[in-house]
Amino acid sequence: MNVVQAPKFCFVVHPLSLEDVARYEPGAKGKGEAIVKKILEWMPAYAAVHVTGVRTPDGRETEGWFVGSPLLPQQILDLPREDIYKRIVRSIEIGAELGAQIAGLGAFTGVVGDGGITVAERSPIPVTTGNSLTIAAGLQSFFRGAREMEVDLASATVAVIGATGSIGSACARLIAPKVREVILVARNETRLKAYYEKTAPDLPCIVSYTTDIASAVRRSQLVLTATSSTQDIIEPEDLQPGAVVCELSLPHDVSRRVAVERPDVLVTEGGNMVVPGEPRFERVREPGSEFDLNLPPRTALACMSETMVLALENRLENYTLGRGIELERVVEIEAMAQRCGFTLADMRAFDTAITPEKIAATREAAARRRALAAH
């Protein structure tokens, strides 16, 4: 097969936790939080990972770089907005200097400010947040979880947490035609009420809204989270027996207590994709050593995958930006990803795979809990 070199990409990454910092920089292990945060503020952007071997079934191949913009999520939210924009743009410039022709914004770099619009205006190359493919892959994962737990969609209530964000609002619109009720949940009541009043009349199901996460979760068989929270917001005591929670958030929204205390609940990380070809994620500073994405082999986040897909398809344009997602783009990028050979990854949660045996055990635990509640 003839290999055709497609345009190259870069993707801006940052650590999501102190444990994550050690994955990027093993020398940080064991250092105190205050010291780590101060060091991160001083650190300039740098090329962290060289990605090679991303190849479509018909022979198109791309390579790219993950460029580190080394700040923790809370720092990105707390530091002066202008400083953060400069850091992100500098990360993209490093990618462009290496040959990238399109850039993706990872995690909080795509959330801060106006969702990538200002960054795109200042960037030397086109930019995407990756949110369109995150939505497409996340919803595939969400509906797969509902099927596995035998939830009847037509009679189900769904809580969409982070409903006023770009991902949450699009997911609510795409879920609504398939379920009985959608509860829109967000922290900012003024923005939430405005979104509800604008959206609810067009949704073909019962729609309500609340800022009370716990009460929405208690009423719902299905929960989708797409927030920019840096704290746990889904607690085990609020979940119904047999509930399904699909997380599209990084850092994660679901308390790790759920894994221990609620064996009857299925939690799944939405939006992980298997990358076609023989992808390698090699540390730039330690040639020959693999970077640990904390995912199974050949697997990447959907937002990363969107950037790769746009490079492979030679779609060098600002693709997904801002707070409002065009549903047509979600459908289009899903088709492009499929054409390029990207597939939905196996289910996982709390950094471990969800096997068929685990799903069967979760269903059985849910049946037992429901039977106990009935007595």
pTM of the predicted model as reported, rounded to 2 decimal places: 0.91
Q: Could you tell me if 218 and 238 are in contact, meaning their C-beta atoms sit under 8 angstroms apart?
A: yes
| Domain 137-271+348-374 classification at class level | alpha beta
Going by the DSSP 8-state scheme, the letter that residue 163 receives in this structure is: T
Could you give the angle at the alpha carbon of 253 between the alpha carbons of 248 and 256, nearest 5°?
120
- Cα of first residue to Cα of last residue in the chain, in angstroms, is 64
What number of CA atoms fall less than 13 Å from residue 197's CA on the CB side? 6
Judge contact between 262 and 236, C-beta under 8 A: yes
Tens digit of pLDDT for each residue in 37-68?
888 889 999 999 999 999 999 999 999 999 99
Query: What are 66's strand-pairing partners?
Result: 11, 49
Write down the residue that tokens 């746990």 correspond to: 232
Q: Tell me whether the omega of the peptide bond preceding residue 7 falls within 30 degrees of 0, making it cis.
A: no
Task: Write the pLDDT tens digit of every residue in 85-105.
Answer: 999 999 999 999 999 999 999
CA gap 125, 101 in Å, rounded: 6
Q: What is the largest CA-CA distance in the chain?
A: 66
* C-beta separation of 350 from 234 below 8 A: no
Q: What sign results for the dihedral spanned by CA atoms 143, 183, 228, 92?
A: positive
pLDDT averaged over every residue in the chain: 92
User: If you compute the radius of gyration of the chain from its CA atoms, what whole number of angstroms results?
Assistant: 20
Domain with CATH 3.40.50.720 in the chain: 137-271+348-374
Q: Pull the structure tokens for residue 26.
A: 């093993």
| Contact yes or no for 147/176 (Cβ under 8 A) | no
State the pLDDT confidence band at 308, using cuts at 50, 70 and 90.
Answer: very high
Between CA 8 and CA 14, with CA 9 as vertex, the angle to 5 degrees is 155
**Residue 297 in tokens:** 């082999």
Lowest mean pLDDT among 150-154, 168-172, 220-224, 350-354: 350-354
Residue 251, pLDDT above cutoff 70: no
Report the DSSP beta bridge partners of residue 222. Answer: 158, 244
Average pLDDT over residues 284-300: 90
CA pair distance 106, 357, nearest whole angstrom: 33
Mean pLDDT of 252-269: 89
